[in-house]
Chains A and B, each alone.
Chain A
């Protein structure tokens, strides 16, 4: 079965400084993935890694510098404005903060109906009727459609945000940190709702998050981003139990424990991410990586399939691993510094 969405070598560069500047922020630098119907792909990484830019360029909320998104067999990137408006119904997004994402001066029912008539699927009157029907299934107050956003709680508003994304019956939904602005006791309600809706409608989810516990619970596969690139992509169990890339290892190791008895020593990365402006060739983690060697910065590193369906962008891992197992010793080497000299 063909994937619902396929992203090919997506790039987004932002020029900084004056109009003829040659300095570019490489926000997204060659990202490719595909998501099947009913599947959840999680996109994890720290702030500035390019997760949200991927979301925006996949949906063509911003035009990518290069690369292409294919949704249900048609190119989103090359669609005309007119065709794009119809396509938007099939690809939707749920945002992090429902207070910011909803219009404070518009009734809930009208906000949920808006994408329906905007995409030309229904008349405005039918859209409002469909929106009411949809909201009815989401455990909201009976008169929710006539209320304004400030009259609902954060958890209720996020249900509305989800309703607005799903009412047009999309095949792809991008969830950008959908629970991180919510109270702990409400997060579980929203996660359960997302799971139910996916099962009923065979939705493809691109789930953007930095909460590794939620990612481990929801995702079928995980893509890890660092400075604009996917540095590892594989099945959730493999990413959590046998992470390959040193950055993934540090990230998984940094997740808080489930129980205080599990407190442990961790793989710590020194320092913080380097600048995404005109990145140097070679591995982008090299300055922070405890296992770096001179050959890591010789040339750009490709994603290599190390096990079926599990790719890693680490030259040493690709060369040295045995069936996905690699236990290197810290090298003490840093780019621009040679301990032997």
Chain B
């Protein structure tokens, strides 16, 4: 299947398409490469997906699957040797890939905000956090004087920072990791963006603090309707806070579904494997483990990229890359044999002999 056909396929496959006002972001055939001394390595190979307005969409995958590269490509923040080779990213009627650098600067922070895994590393250590926030308010919202101070105070309250007046005067090193992440979220909210990209926002935090941040991001979704793309490797976090899920494997999205459908009826063998390999107190059977390891993107497997690790794989899987197929209205999967996967009575293919790790 040619890449352009695949692209149209998805745009038509998600219930919503660009003409539909429920879609905030529409990514088509996004292709990102990293230059090496030899052949360029294709990290994203024709990525297609949409983000629904007011939803939190999880982008799940293992390290090296291309999750973070996706975020950086969308925002055009990749530095050489990384490079978006082709593709379109439609956001509120404009293709971000065709904008000038100046137009793009106006979008970053103002329309699309981003937070990262290491909040302290993303804050400038020599500025008081309040000064940075004031700068955002002046730059993106054109505020002046007292209004800036009042709004900064209000935004800090909104993200649940205790004693905003004191924290506005603090430097990042005086704050804990959880508080730094709240400050980062406040800086994003100050720009009143339409989309928040959160790259592993809780991975560096302790569990009780992690849950506070999860609650905060969900309540921001509920109160302000802020659309979010959550990049994570943690299916527990996805189950906790997402509405939709995109599962990524070796530079491709292999399954997309509403969160309950994904957990109820995972249809890609990789998704099934990930769900089944989670440790659980109530089931102390031997853990299912996906055999093999994540492939190198320098020489990805032919056909379906998961076939060397797949218990359901047959000849066609190594020859032909599967096109996306509908499981239900908002649920699609790239697998030749997803019907066999779904029908397999063994829980998540657990007893498939070939899959024993």
Which residues of A are in contact with B by a Cβ distance under 8 Å?
46-47, 153, 155, 183-189, 191-192, 195, 210-214, 216-218, 236-237, 240, 250-251, 253-263, 266, 268-269, 271-272
Indicate if the CB atoms of B289 and A189 lie closer than 8 Å.
yes
Indicate if the CB atoms of A272 and B239 lie closer than 8 Å.
no
| Partner-binding segment picked from B73-81, B88-96, B148-156, B279-287 | B279-287
Give A236's nearest chain B residue, CB to CB. B281
Q: Which residues of A contact B207 (CB under 8 A)?
A: 46, 210, 212, 251, 254-255
Q: Which residues of A contact B286 (CB under 8 A)?
A: 192, 195
Given A47-B206, A210-B206, A260-B260, decide whether A185 and B290 contact each other with a Cβ distance below 8 A: yes
Q: Which residues of B contact A183 (CB under 8 A)?
A: 62-63, 233, 293-294
Which residues of B are in contact with A by a Cβ distance under 8 Å?
62-63, 162, 176, 178-179, 206-212, 215, 233-237, 239-240, 242, 259-260, 263, 273-274, 277-281, 284, 286-290, 293-294, 357
B73 to chain A, nearest CB (A): 22
Given A185-B290, A257-B240, A263-B240, decide whether A217 and B284 contact each other with a Cβ distance below 8 A: yes
Indicate if the CB atoms of B62 and A185 lie closer than 8 Å.
yes
Indicate if the CB atoms of A187 and B277 lie closer than 8 Å.
yes
Q: Which of B234, B263, B279, B284 contacts A259 (CB 8 A)?
A: B263
Q: Which residues of A contact B287 (CB under 8 A)?
A: 188, 191-192, 217
Given A192-B287, A218-B279, A236-B281, decide whether A257 and B357 contact each other with a Cβ distance below 8 A: no
Task: Kindly name the residue among A189, A262, A263, A268 whose own CB sees the greatest number of chain B CB atoms within 10 A.
Answer: A189
Q: Which residues of B contact A184 (CB under 8 A)?
A: 62, 233-235, 274, 277-278
Q: Which residues of B contact A188 (CB under 8 A)?
A: 277-279, 287-290, 357
Q: Which residues of B contact A236 (CB under 8 A)?
A: 281
Indicate if the CB atoms of B289 and A258 lie closer than 8 Å.
no
A251 to B207, CA, bound (A): 7
Q: Which residues of A contact B290 (CB under 8 A)?
A: 185, 188
Indicate if the CB atoms of B289 and A192 lie closer than 8 Å.
yes
B43 to chain A, nearest CB (A): 17
Give 10 closest A-B pairs by Cβ, nearest first: A216-B281, A256-B236, A217-B279, A188-B289, A46-B206, A188-B277, A188-B287, A185-B290, A254-B211, A183-B62
Q: Which residues of B contact A263 (CB under 8 A)?
A: 239-240
Given A47-B206, A183-B294, A257-B239, decide whether A213 and B289 contact each other with a Cβ distance below 8 A: no
A240 to B237, CA, bound (A): 19
Q: Which residues of B contact A255 (CB under 8 A)?
A: 207, 236
B274 to chain A, nearest CB (A): 6
Indicate if the CB atoms of A185 and B162 lie closer than 8 Å.
no
Q: Which of B162, B176, B278, B293 contacts A186 (CB 8 A)?
A: B293
A263 to B288, CA, bound (A): 25
Indicate if the CB atoms of A266 and B289 lie closer than 8 Å.
no
A189 to B291, CA, bound (A): 8
Give A211's nearest chain B residue, CB to CB. B279
Indicate if the CB atoms of A213 and B240 lie closer than 8 Å.
no
Indicate if the CB atoms of A213 and B278 lie closer than 8 Å.
yes
A135 to chain B, nearest CB (A): 18
A300 to chain B, nearest CB (A): 23
13 A–B contacts from the bound complex (CB under 8 Å): A46-B208, A155-B293, A188-B287, A188-B288, A192-B357, A217-B284, A255-B207, A255-B236, A258-B280, A266-B211, A266-B215, A268-B212, A272-B209
A180 to chain B, nearest CB (A): 10
A249 to chain B, nearest CB (A): 11
Indicate if the CB atoms of B273 and A185 lie closer than 8 Å.
yes
Give A216's nearest chain B residue, CB to CB. B281
Q: Which residues of A contact B239 (CB under 8 A)?
A: 256-260, 262-263
Q: Which residues of A contact B274 (CB under 8 A)?
A: 184-185
Indicate if the CB atoms of A258 and B278 lie closer than 8 Å.
yes
Give B176's nearest chain A residue, CB to CB. A272
A188 to B309, CA, bound (A): 15
Q: Which of A195, A213, A256 contacts B237 (CB 8 A)?
A: A256
Q: Which residues of A contact B210 (CB under 8 A)?
A: 254
Q: Which residues of B contact A258 (CB under 8 A)?
A: 236, 239, 278, 280
Q: Which residues of B contact A254 (CB under 8 A)?
A: 207-208, 210-211
Q: Which residues of B contact A250 (CB under 8 A)?
A: 208
Indicate if the CB atoms of B240 and A191 lie closer than 8 Å.
no
Q: Which residues of B contact A216 (CB under 8 A)?
A: 279-281
Give B203's nearest chain A residue, CB to CB. A180
Q: Which residues of A contact B162 (CB under 8 A)?
A: 271
Indicate if the CB atoms of B279 and A256 lie closer than 8 Å.
no
Give B240's nearest chain A residue, CB to CB. A256
Indicate if the CB atoms of A213 and B260 lie closer than 8 Å.
no
Give B282's nearest chain A residue, CB to CB. A216
Indicate if the CB atoms of A257 and B236 lie closer than 8 Å.
yes
A269 to B209, CA, bound (A): 9
Give B212's nearest chain A residue, CB to CB. A268
Known: A186-B293, A263-B239; 10 extra A-B contacts, CB below 8 A, are: A155-B293, A191-B279, A192-B289, A213-B278, A216-B280, A217-B280, A217-B281, A256-B239, A256-B240, A261-B263
A11 to chain B, nearest CB (A): 23
A253 to B209, CA, bound (A): 12
Indicate if the CB atoms of B259 and A260 lie closer than 8 Å.
yes
A114 to B294, CA, bound (A): 31
Q: Which residues of A contact B273 (CB under 8 A)?
A: 185
Give B243's nearest chain A residue, CB to CB. A260
Given A191-B287, A213-B279, A251-B208, decide whether A261 and B293 contact each other with a Cβ distance below 8 A: no
Indicate if the CB atoms of B289 and A185 lie closer than 8 Å.
yes
Task: Kindly name the residue among B179, B207, B277, B284 whose own CB sees the greatest number of chain A CB atoms within 10 A.
Answer: B207
Q: Which residues of A contact B277 (CB under 8 A)?
A: 184-185, 187-188
Q: Which residues of A contact B208 (CB under 8 A)?
A: 46, 250-251, 254, 268-269
A102 to B227, CA, bound (A): 43
A3 to B47, CA, bound (A): 56
Q: Which residues of B contact A47 (CB under 8 A)?
A: 206
Q: Which residues of A contact B236 (CB under 8 A)?
A: 213, 255-258
Q: Which residues of A contact B240 (CB under 8 A)?
A: 256-257, 260, 263
B210 to chain A, nearest CB (A): 7
